Structure 1
Amino acid sequence: MTDGENTTPDSTSGAASPAGDAERQSPPVAAPWYRSPWFWALPLFICLLLLATWLVWKEWQAAESRRAALERQTTEARQSNQAREAFLQRLRPLLEKQPCDVQRELDAISPPDGLTWPISPVTPARPPAAAEAPSTQKPHSPQRAAVAPPSSVAELLEQATVLILAQRKEGLSMGSGFFVTSGHIVTNAHVVGDASQAIVVNKATGGPLAATVLRATQSGGRDFAVLEVREAPPVTPLTLAAGVKRTERVSAWGFPGAVTADDLQFTAMLQGSAAAPEVVYTDGAVSVILQRTPPLIVHTATVSQGNSGGPLVNDKGDVVGINTFIKLDDESYRQSSLAIVSASLADYLRSEGISFSQASPAPQAPATQPAKGGKP
């Protein structure tokens, strides 16, 4: 019957159905161990930890190396300072002796490495003709350099303005000065301080020369010192002006540290050469004359540390004042340059028995009288 045939179960289909269900219900197969993320995470973490440890160790090694180098430099600097201090202790007694004796003892003293002070005075070289002639000079008397007479105000100031180096208790001091006679130099007392000897130099001296501090005073508004140079070349000394007026054009000459420190000739001189740095010129005008005791000239010529003791001159080259200090306005950032009038310096030189040249006062113009019978 058809119905029986239709209801008779198919042996083939009935056998295949249970097998397919079994395959669909079988559990998943586990992944291999090397595919597990936790397996690789642990070695990676260990590698990162080792790298961090190595970097920290390298940084610690570098820090230890820097610390050791710093300690070594500090020890070397301390030893160098001790050697220099011992060297200066041996030099200080020489300040009381004669220049010839000082030079002999300096030759027997070996300065520490890197120390070039004090600078030994340099004897200017003689021309060949003079060297062939029989010497008639006394022992230890250096030859004077030939200095041509100045042909301009600039040449006059270049010859007469000198750099001054003085070894004070607190250290080396640098300033300016100028010749007022053929053997005397004027500067500020605060430049030389407590030193009894100094070194003076410019291009006209032919090299550094020894100078003796004769007088120094810092009282009553005065700040003056007189130095004596026994073997100075025949430079033309400066003349002190009879007076100074407001708005008068002036110029300052000297050796400001801000400029001189960059001069290669100055560096060579500190290393024992006979070189001399360039004198620095600035110009301006007299702003006001403060009526103090002594009077002070306020001017606009730029000066800085190292100009102290240098001359302030008019257009004729006559000294109207000695540059002494500067003042700074914190609010406007303006600088005022101040110089002590030359009249006070002249009084000081007279009281110390130092001769000098002073310009004659300018003649007063006669008052004009109306011509008789003339029309008004």
Structure 2
Amino acid sequence: MNENQQSMPPETPQTAAAPEAAAAVSVVALPWYRRPLFWGILLFLGLLLLAGWLFWKEWQQAEATKASVAAQTEQWREHNAALESFMQQLRALLAKDPCEVKQGLGRITSPAGVMWPPLASGADRSDAVPQKPGDLADKSGSGRSDTPPAPAQNNADAQKQIPPVPVQKQTPRNVSELMEQATVLVLAMKEEGLAMGTGFFVAPGYVVTNAHVVGDATEAVVVNKAMGRPFAATVRLVAHDNGQDFALLGVDGTSGIVPLKLAQSVSRTERVSAWGFPGAVTNDDPKFAALLKGDEAAAPEVVYTEGVVSVILERNPPLIVHTATVSQGNSGGPLINEKGDVVGINTFIKLDDASYRQSSLAIVCSSLAAFLRGAGVSITMAQASESAGGKQ
């Protein structure tokens, strides 16, 4: 062995392991808030809680919707039961005589949402319906609802000093124009509220309607498109006994309206038509709504239906059963033949519960003529040849 080999120090295990020990000392444990596993678990729990909360909210909403639907279903079930009871009362009332119908109207209880009588009283609808019929006819042409009314005495004096502007003379060119200017809407304030019906001119300044339309009222309002504005009417005479159902109204300033002629007779199978203001149609007429709100220039359209005479019941007075459709609001309106002559006054209807068929009934014109003659009204009777268009 040479000298260089002897001077080299021998390797020791401690010198070879020194780098590994240094690496082990440099590895330090991470704190809990810096570990990904902790945040992963925390995020998972948060998502789980969010999903549970959303599920609970959906369940709560579904339960609330279910309860609301159940309550609404029960409400509609009760409402339908009330409507069915109301309809049964009306059917029973329609089977009675006209005199009993008037007495039974006040005893009928209407369900919620059904206006009964058809037009509410001024206390119920003070925003749309005048407090009394005279208010509608006496309003000024300005149409302003916020103008304070003058004292009653001053209004009366003004009416005496300034007469109403009369209706201009009109010459109808056909039956349709004749009926449109001679048929009027009648509004009367009765004890149970504002009633709506139909009437027609039988002489200059005189309108006839049913007694049950005006009831106990002493004043009324009549209007149509030809008149141009509402006119105040005074109840002159009422006949509501022995099968009669007539009321005579006096209307000043309407001498320009051509009155209707009264037919001498009527026959089975004769073609007839009914003219009037049935509530089923008139209540949906925007002009009628405008009229109730004070627009004097607005007047609803007169409604026309046609049919034939089915039979004449020999009662006292005789009744005409016909197929022209009439409904509430047609009461007091004219039933005319093809010539435009009045053969009867529409008074009531009857409904067959078994077949659901409706019969329209009118009091014959001869009874109406006798009533008007007794009241001293100068009526015009059609010639026999003019009113026999449907005879066989």
1:264 is aligned, of 286, 306, 328, to: 286
Q: Which residue of 1 aligns with 2:137?
A: 121
1:147 is aligned, of 169, 172, 175, to: 169
| 1:314 Cα deviation after fit | 1.1
1:177 is aligned, of 199, 205, 212, to: 199
2:376 is aligned, of 335, 347, 353, to: 353
Q: Which residue of 2 aligns with 1:313?
A: 336
| 1:189 Cα deviation after fit | 1.1
| 1:331 Cα deviation after fit | 2.7
Unaligned runs of at least 5 residues, structure 2: 1-34, 68-119, 142-158
Matches within 5 A, 1:86-165: 88=123, 113-116=127-130, 118=132, 119-121=135-137, 139-165=161-187
| 1:330 Cα deviation after fit | 2.5
| 1:56 Cα deviation after fit | 7.4
One-letter code of the match for 1:275?
A
| 1:203 Cα deviation after fit | 1.7
| 1:58 Cα deviation after fit | 7.8
| Alignment partners' CA distance in 2, 1:87 and 1:179 | 27
| 1:40 Cα deviation after fit | 8.1
Moved more, 214-223 or 285-294: 214-223
| Partner SS for 1:332 | coil
Q: Deviations over 1:185-211 (max 9, x none)?
A: 110111112222111001221201111
Q: Indicate if the aligned counterparts of 1:122 and 1:206 stay in contact, CA closer than 8 A.
A: no
Q: Indicate if the aligned counterparts of 1:288 and 1:299 stay in contact, CA closer than 8 A.
A: yes
Aligned pair in 2 of structure 1 residues 208, 290: CA closer, same or farther (>3 Å)?
same
| Alignment partners' CA distance in 1, 2:128 and 2:363 | 39
| Alignment partners' CA distance in 1, 2:361 and 2:121 | 39
| 1:324 Cα deviation after fit | 0.7
TM-score (norm 1): 0.65
Q: Deviations over 1:210-233 (max 9, x none)?
A: 111122232221111111112224
Q: Deviations over 1:302-336 (max 9, x none)?
A: 11211110000112211110001112223323221
Unaligned runs of at least 5 residues, structure 1: 1-31, 64-84, 90-110, 126-136, 366-376
Aligned pair in 2 of structure 1 residues 114, 192: CA closer, same or farther (>3 Å)?
closer
Q: Which residue of 2 aligns with 1:230?
A: 252
Give identity over the alignment, percent.
55
Q: Indicate if the aligned counterparts of 1:212 and 1:228 stay in contact, CA closer than 8 A.
A: yes
Matches within 5 A, 1:282-361: 282-361=305-384
| 1:361 Cα deviation after fit | 3.6
| 1:174 Cα deviation after fit | 0.9
| Alignment partners' CA distance in 1, 2:199 and 2:162 | 26
Q: Indicate if the aligned counterparts of 2:128 and 2:293 stay in contact, CA closer than 8 A.
A: no
Q: Which residue of 2 aligns with 1:190?
A: 212
| 1:88 Cα deviation after fit | 4.9
Does 1:50 pair with 2:53? Answer: yes
One-letter code of the match for 1:350?
R
| 1:293 Cα deviation after fit | 1.2
Q: Which residue of 1 aligns with 2:261?
A: 239
| 1:147 Cα deviation after fit | 2.7
| Alignment partners' CA distance in 1, 2:355 and 2:286 | 34
| Alignment partners' CA distance in 2, 1:42 and 1:168 | 75
Does 1:219 pair with 2:237? Answer: no
Moved more, 49-58 or 297-306: 49-58
| 1:178 Cα deviation after fit | 0.4
| Partner SS for 1:259 | helix
| Alignment partners' CA distance in 2, 1:116 and 1:359 | 39
| Alignment partners' CA distance in 2, 1:268 and 1:87 | 16
| Alignment partners' CA distance in 1, 2:175 and 2:121 | 46
Q: Indicate if the aligned counterparts of 2:121 and 2:129 stay in contact, CA closer than 8 A.
A: no
| Alignment partners' CA distance in 2, 1:347 and 1:124 | 38
Q: Deviations over 1:28-82 (max 9, x none)?
A: xxxx9959x998886555334433555678899999xxxxxxxxxxxxxxxxxxx
Q: Which residue of 1 aligns with 2:232?
A: 210
Number of residue equivalences: 280
Matches within 5 A, 1:29-44: 43=46
Moved more, 181-190 or 166-175: 166-175
| Partner SS for 2:366 | helix
| Partner SS for 1:158 | helix
| Alignment partners' CA distance in 1, 2:310 and 2:140 | 42
Aligned pair in 2 of structure 1 residues 52, 193: CA closer, same or farther (>3 Å)?
farther
TM-score (norm 2): 0.62
| Alignment partners' CA distance in 2, 1:340 and 1:86 | 29
